[in-house]
Amino acid sequence: MAKATRQSFGEALARLGAEHSEIVVLDADLSKSTKSDLFAKKFPERFFEMGIQEAHMIGAASGMAFSGKLPFLCSFGAFLTGRYDQVRLSAVYSGANVRIIGTHAGLGIGDDGHSQMGLEDVTLMRVLPTMGVFQPMDDAETQAIMDYLVKQYKGPAYLRLTRQTMPDYSDKAAPFVAGKLRKVATLGTGAKTLLAIGSGAGVAEAMGAAERLTAKGYTTHVVNCHTLKPFDSKGLMELVSSLKPSQIFTVEDHSVIGGLGSCVAEVLSENGVGVKLTRFGCQDQFGESGEPVELFEKHGFSAAKIAEKMA
């Protein structure tokens, strides 16, 4: 069922809370928005409302982690990266086993405007040593990543979530494998081959672009990157080798500096791959208020704008 990934997160958190008594949840006066309130209603004794003080929340969560708890600390991605010093030192440098949940990612939050749009968070979190960075494309993938973060992953991790509803693209029969690029679809049978890699909300725009490019004689292989760190370098090289695309493009609701596009560019350049790469996302600009569809169009990474540029 199509949902905002923040909603899927809240439902998964409440489900996993019943199975894992070590889970505790902290929020900074945004539990209805982050959907951590679903956990709070079921387990009020394990939920901590910290008020509008993210820095204190990060420190407290790190302390809880060293006391044997598994803390999920929740706020808007933009507000968490605004407390980057605490993330860097209290959580990551100390090696705390915390789960940092950044909701309201990118231009897709719409009318709330730039002050609340996480557009730099992947870049900042990705550069921190040992930090895992995850961004699901839909409900099923959010649930699977949450299971992985609770049952298998160790160390600090950042989970990036949408405010807006995401269409379902996951093949529920295929097992989720953390850290691996995931094939979503191949559209078209044209002689010209493209490889499209999306993450989070970018997957839907990549799919929409692929549908439009079919009519223009292209075959487009759409791939989802749910794990931005560690990035699947080997998987990307295998795709390039097997598909032999004439061009590659990435799509992300995030700055093109340091995010998914940079992950792909780093691997291609380090391996001497001479394929043109086009990065679609926010182009070194601030966000603004508006409807998500209008903002994606204005900033050039709507499905229509991508197809127009790639054709």
Give the residue numbers annotated as catalytic, written as ranges.
54
Alpha-helical runs (H) found in the chain: 5-19, 31-34, 37-42, 54-65, 77-81, 84-86, 121-126, 139-151, 202-214, 233-243, 260-270, 292-298, 303-310
What's the rounded Cα separation, in Å, for the pair 209 and 224? 14
Q: How far is CA 286 from CA 41, 48, 119, 254, 277, in A?
A: 36, 33, 8, 10, 23
223 closest CA partner among 159, 232, 49, 75? 232
What's the rounded Cα separation, in Å, for the pair 180 and 175? 11
- For the CA atoms of the chain, what is the radius of gyration? 19
Bond before 230 cis per omega within 30 degrees: yes
What's the rounded Cα separation, in Å, for the pair 201 and 259? 13
